[in-house]
Structure 1
């Protein structure tokens, strides 16, 4: 009897999770054709609000340590590139034009950059200095990170994590043990700074990123040379923050193929 009740609870919990999730289309496909539907369990507004708080905390800590926007010329360069990339986001989703975009540079030796929900972005100086990035390569990095925000990959990761944790919580609540609760801000921080993106997410961000760069007038083929530079930093493999990205050769071929696909957009933007 006890086993039967536990099974019933599991069924109820599973049914609740299915009803709580919804399939959304976060972006249009663009020229690169990224049009996968995504299962979401938390609202875009909630993730954007939590991301804004997390971002201000990170930026505030960098400011207190004297690590925020230390090099005016470098900051101006990053923001100039972002000012060309951001208007192109409307090719994938029109609401991105109304996001409260913020772009800053953090002094750090890490080869890193990220863009949270709602356009909260940071580039680490080590990425620029150590890889000696050209403007085209820097645009490839930033376009890739912006693509993660456009596709709401963090929201998708959080939703997947919640399916597991909330499922257990619902079952526990129905059995009289535990309660439902989620620290959304903490989860945003975790998926941004600790958990690597899935290979699927990286492929989507690569493809959208090269299109954003091309539309902004940056050579999309620079994504290939950028990847080669990243690979050379760790004996043919990517830096740790890229550890679950598609294999080097596979990714290089995909970047090259999609860069060629969007070359007409680049040539048109350069006229």
Structure 2
């Protein structure tokens, strides 16, 4: 049987051959500087196009069910806040000024929002209504989601998925048994996918915090937002096995970063 460390080395070599290290955004005042490894065959444009199709399908389904909200007070709030945040996106990524940004509110009890590749934003009304979000808190959520898109975390995750698939293919070609493949997959997941996912969440928190501050929203609202999220979510899984930081870690990181972005909020007219 091929030792697992050899399988890992061969997989890593093949991964590096098909990957390129990129810096999707500038670091900003919050200092997000991590290099990201993307499969060169998986371009930004391709991922954006794939997601745009999925996004339109989601909107079409919501419209057919009568839950696509274009006119309520909350829909107008979401749109206004998004526009202010989007205006700041080029600070981190100049080409974002040319993205086909879209913003929509869907009536749903889900406590959720997302911004997919290429700037496709969806907010679910349950998030606003059940948590009674202020504009500052809503900006913190949306800034966080926009940051995921700016950093191309979706494309990065897809590149990692290719890595897991390649580990399987390499292992099968080298005659590694099923048990060995499962162990290799677990190693790839825990050493590669999960830690970076937690890292991605932290990056989105920090960049989102700065986006909101630059757009004139109080960065302290990020703390009250995640306090509300923690209360709504109840007990959380152990941080090591979670793709999201624990609430205490998240709020500690945000609290440390707030002084870095407060001047932007004050320059934008906040107090």
Question: Do these two structures clear the TM 0.5 threshold for a shared fold by scoring above it?
Answer: yes
Q: Give the aligned partner of residue 152 of structure 1.
A: 152
SS in 1 for 2:31: coil
CA RMSD of aligned residues (A): 2.6
- Partners of 1:99 and 1:119 within 8 A in 2: yes
Which sections of structure 1, spanning at least 5 residues, go unmatched? Answer: 176-194
The correspondence of residues 223-238 of structure 1 with structure 2, limited to 5 A, is: 223-235=222-234, 237=236
Q: Give the aligned partner of residue 268 of structure 1.
A: 267
Residues 79-122 of structure 1 deviation map (CA, whole Å, 9 limit, x = unaligned): 00011000101110100000000000011101000000000010
- Partners of 2:115 and 2:146 within 8 A in 1: yes
Tell me the TM-score normalized by structure 1: 0.82
Tell me the TM-score normalized by structure 2: 0.82
Deviation at 1:260, TM superposition (A): 2.1
SS in 2 for 1:245: coil
Q: 1:43 to 1:97 in 2, by over 3 A?
A: same
Whole-angstrom distance in 1 between the partners of 2:146 and 2:110 = 19
Q: Give the aligned partner of residue 54 of structure 2.
A: 54
Q: Give the aligned partner of residue 33 of structure 1.
A: 31
Q: 1:56 to 1:172 in 2, by over 3 A?
A: farther
Whole-angstrom distance in 2 between the partners of 1:197 and 1:122 = 24
The correspondence of residues 98-117 of structure 1 with structure 2, limited to 5 A, is: 98-117=98-117
- Partners of 1:217 and 1:266 within 8 A in 2: yes
Deviation larger for 64-73 or 254-263: 64-73
Q: Give the aligned partner of residue 127 of structure 2.
A: 127
Equivalent pairs counted in the alignment come to 244
Q: Give the aligned partner of residue 69 of structure 2.
A: 69
SS in 1 for 2:87: helix
Whole-angstrom distance in 1 between the partners of 2:110 and 2:195 = 15
Q: Give the aligned partner of residue 253 of structure 1.
A: 252
